[in-house]
Amino acid sequence: MPDCFADRLATAVKETSTPLIVGLDPRWESLPSCFRDDGADRATAYRDFCLGVIDVVAPLVPAVKPQAAFFEQLGWPGMKALAQVIAAARERGLLVIADGKRNDIGSTAVGYAEGWLGAESAWGADALTISPYLGDDSLEPFVQTARDRQAGLFVLVKTSNPGGRFLQDQQSDGQTLYRRVADWVEGSAAEQLGDCGYGATGAVVGATYPEQLAELRVAMPHAWLLVPGFGSQGGTAADVAPAFDDRGLGAIINSSRAILFAHARPEYASRYGEAEWQRAVEEATRDAIAELRAATSAGKL
């Protein structure tokens, strides 16, 4: 029996000494031109690019987070590429958090849960992001499946985009909606704690709202937080500091574009450029790790 997801994540964070995870968000127009010029179809280019990123980051970070949307955009060949990317990442020892933001009503949610979660499932992800609008009974099948398969979940609580306020920030019965979801997440997480002190049900909380991040860390003491929005979306290492406990655990911080397409960033372009795009990925990853170590309790890892 493998360890529960929460403990596997804690172990991976400690072994790599960083909470940084790399989002695999291939975008055609941003790929190094070697992937766009050789006549390969887009799905193959996405796969090969992501495999190249995985080669570089596998020794450096605990997990990758493939974004389903970009693969799905290409139809089933894109989904086949996604499956290959997930398998390659797992083979390299990375945890894989599939960013699908899936959900449906109960009996249909089972389909998503069983398909995505667990090493023996069709997609073989270690964890999945899910959306709560359909309600608590739509989340339960994911919790059950995650428990059965030692997998993890990250429920959308407070997202990094400005429009998140449209529903998430609405006040009801004296609390925000995002807090209502957070309370559910905490209840679920606390039901099945790993040795690390966290549960299998976690929360997505954006880096762009540091005040809410601090509030939600306190509200969900037993939930791993998956924090997007660091880097290209404007969240700084200081902004994400409140996401951690005092051991440097409890949060993983995602960076996608700032790492994947580092070859085009001014600070790396002049030294590496497109031809050495993997060296740019490596240096951007190391720089992000250093930033997080300097500004957060992840420095204690």
- State yes or no: is 101 an active-site residue: yes
Q: Is residue 164 at the binding interface for a copy of itself, with CB under 8 A as the rule?
A: yes
Q: Site for a copy of itself (CB under 8 A): how many residues?
A: 57
* Per-residue CA distances from 205 to 41, 185, 292 (Å): 35, 12, 17
Q: Is residue 166 at the binding interface for a copy of itself, with CB under 8 A as the rule?
A: yes
**Identity (one letter) of the amino acid at 18?**
T
Cα 72 to Cα 35: distance, rounded to the nearest angstrom: 19
Catalytic residue among 80, 101, 158, 300: 101
List, in sequence order, every beta strand (DSSP E) within the chain. 20-24, 63-66, 95-102, 127-130, 152-158, 171-172, 175-176, 201-205, 225-227, 251-255
Q: How far apart are the first and last CA of the chain?
A: 26
Residues 53-82 that bind a copy of itself (CB under 8 A): 67, 69-70, 72-76, 78-80, 82
Cα 136 to Cα 74: distance, rounded to the nearest angstrom: 32
* Residue of the chain from 19, 32, 115, 231 that contacts a copy of itself (CB under 8 A): 115
Residues 15-54 that bind a copy of itself (CB under 8 A): 25
Q: Is residue 271 at the binding interface for a copy of itself, with CB under 8 A as the rule?
A: no
Q: Is residue 234 at the binding interface for a copy of itself, with CB under 8 A as the rule?
A: no
Q: Is residue 254 at the binding interface for a copy of itself, with CB under 8 A as the rule?
A: no
Q: Is residue 102 at the binding interface for a copy of itself, with CB under 8 A as the rule?
A: yes
* Residue of the chain from 21, 143, 153, 156 that contacts a copy of itself (CB under 8 A): 156
What is the sign, positive or negative, of the torsion defined by CA atoms of 135, 140, 145, 151?
positive
Q: Which is nearer to a copy of itself, 264 or 295 (CB)?
A: 264
Q: Is residue 162 at the binding interface for a copy of itself, with CB under 8 A as the rule?
A: yes
Q: Is residue 181 at the binding interface for a copy of itself, with CB under 8 A as the rule?
A: yes
Secondary structure class of 165 (helix, strand, coil): helix
Residues 6 or more apart whose Cβ sits within 8 Å of residue 58: 89, 92, 93, 94
- Catalytic residue positions, numbered: 101
* Residue ranges that bind a copy of itself, judged by CB under 8 A: 25, 67, 69-70, 72-76, 78-80, 82-83, 99, 101-106, 108-109, 111-112, 114-116, 122-123, 131-138, 156, 159-168, 170-173, 177, 180-181, 184
